């Protein structure tokens, strides 16, 4: 990997010694216990700073970014209503899916490129940044073209084609943890992106599958504590997909904020009961405003600024 005036040579972690031939050439070398390398604090102790429009996350760790919007863009009217609310609340990043990964083939799969075009219009009209998901390689280039922030969803976490496309995109990437994936697998996937030359990776904990069935998934806050300790990437949390029901989102968002995280991803819809995907977990606009307001004091208590 080429980096400014030098090269970074990465091997897998089973190599425990610097080869003799590199003895007089290498500026530094690191011996790792796993293939969490570029994303580890051993290699780069400070949290990477990822620019988000006129602000950032990571770096000095002062900012907590709010990313919000409906699960999917469904119509012009729906997305306009969403943007108006976000603008009123002072939110910078609109997140809405155009290519939805679904568990059933008989449900809404998103508006595709028409959705991307509408999102681009919304960016112009409301001055919001656009985060949206690449589901598979057939449209990765389109998503890179339109999005300000590229999302790789939980079900696609291992897709090497997408990890490479995101790594070559030059854009910030939200990498969601697969619901059946270990933390090691998540950070290895982050290393896939980073080894393509893109260090603007944001990890997202969105709940893992446990024996519990009363909630949709189980939000792994222990995992977040581990990532904060060992990984050099900003971490955001998605309580919406973890809980699966609107009623728990406010409590979880406050708990996540109290952990001192870099961002939250919250699904909100102008009329959740009519939403074409993830209807039960989306907050209506009034609920969203109340939840967001309640985060201010929690964020301040842990030295964070909501951006
Ligand atoms: C989403 O973000 O709307 C989504 C489908 O989430 P996940 O990939 O975490 O399941
Ligand atoms: Mn969703």
- Ligand 1 nearest atom to the CA of residue 177, by list position: 9
State both tokens at 188: 């290895």
Q: Are 115 and 74 in contact (CB under 8 A)?
A: no
Dist. CA 150–CA 55, nearest whole Å: 17
Ligand 1 contact via 135 beta carbon (within 6 Å): no
What local confidence, expressed as pLDDT, does residue 236 receive? 99
pTM for this model (two decimals) = 0.97
User: What does the pLDDT look like over 140-184, one tens digit per residue?
Assistant: 999 999 999 999 999 999 999 999 999 999 999 999 999 999 999
| Ligand 1 contact, 244 CB (< 6 A) | no
Name the pairing type of β-strands 55-57 and 50-52: antiparallel
What stretches in the chain show pLDDT beneath 50? Answer: none
* pLDDT on residue 261: 98
Distance CA 128, CA 125 (A): 8
Taking the CA atoms of 173, 174, 180 and 185 in sequence, report the sign of the dihedral they define.
positive
Burial of 113 (0-12, 13-18, 19+ CB in 10 A): middle
Distance 298 CA to ligand 2 centre (A): 25
User: Cβ distance 282 to 267 under 8 Å?
Assistant: yes
- Closest atom of ligand 1 to CA, residue 176: 9
**Phi/psi at 141 (5° precision):** -65, -35
Cβ–ligand 1 distance for 153 under 6 Å, the answer: yes
Atom 10 in ligand 1: residue holding the nearest Cα:
154
Question: What pLDDT does 113 receive?
Answer: 98
| Pair of tokens at residue 11 | 């091997």
Closest residue by CA, ligand 1 atom 3 = 71
Q: What pLDDT does 197 receive?
A: 95
- Positive or negative: CA dihedral 226, 206, 261, 45: positive
DSSP characters for 18-53? --GGGTTT-S-----SSS--TTBTTT--SPPPEEET
Instruction: Label residue 12 exposed, middle or buried (CB < 10 Å: 0-12, 13-18, 19+).
Output: exposed
Kind plus residue range of the DSSP H or E element containing 176: strand 173-176
Indicate which residue's Cα is closest to atom 4 of ligand 1. 153
| pLDDT value of position 4 | 75
**Ligand number with the minimum distance to the CA of 153:** 1
Binding site membership of 176 for ligand 1 (Cβ less than 6 Å): yes
Q: Is 154 in the pocket of ligand 1 (CB under 6 A)?
A: yes
């Amino acid at each position: 990997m080429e980096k400014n005036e030098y090269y970074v040579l990465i091997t897998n972690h089973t190599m425990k010694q610097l080869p003799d031939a590199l003895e007089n050439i290498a500026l530094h070398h690191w011996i790792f216990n796993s293939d969490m390398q570029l994303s580890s604090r051993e290699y780069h102790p400070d949290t990477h700073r990822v620019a988000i429009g006129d602000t950032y996350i990571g770096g000095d760790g002062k900012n907590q970014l709010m990313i919000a919007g409906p699960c999917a863009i469904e119509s012009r009217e729906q997305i306009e209503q969403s943007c108006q609310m976000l603008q009123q609340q002072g939110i910078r990043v609109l997140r809405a899916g155009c290519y939805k990964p679904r568990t059933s083939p008989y449900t809404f799969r998103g508006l595709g490129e028409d959705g991307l075009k509408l999102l681009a219009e919304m960016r112009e009209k409301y001055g919001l940044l656009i985060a949206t998901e690449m589901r598979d390689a057939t449209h990765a280039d389109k998503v890179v073209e339109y999005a300000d922030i590229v999302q790789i969803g939980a079900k696609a976490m291992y897709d090497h084609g997408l990890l490479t496309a995101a790594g070559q995109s030059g854009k910030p990437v939200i990498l969601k943890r697969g619901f059946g994936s270990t933390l090691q697998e998540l950070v290895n996937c982050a290393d896939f992106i980073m080894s393509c030359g893109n260090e603007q990776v944001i990890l997202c904990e969105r709940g893992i599958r446990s024996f519990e069935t009363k909630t949709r998934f189980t939000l792994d806050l222990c995992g977040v504590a581990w990532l904060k300790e060992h990984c050099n990437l900003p971490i955001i949390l998605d309580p919406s997909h973890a809980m699966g029901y609107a009623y728990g989102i406010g409590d979880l968002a406050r708990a996540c904020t109290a952990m001192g995280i870099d961002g939250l991803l919250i699904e909100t819809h102008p009329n959740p009961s009519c939403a074409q995907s993830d209807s039960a977990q989306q907050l209506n606009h009034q609920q969203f405003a109340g939840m967001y307001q309640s985060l201010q004091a929690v964020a301040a208590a842990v030295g964070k600024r909501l951006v």
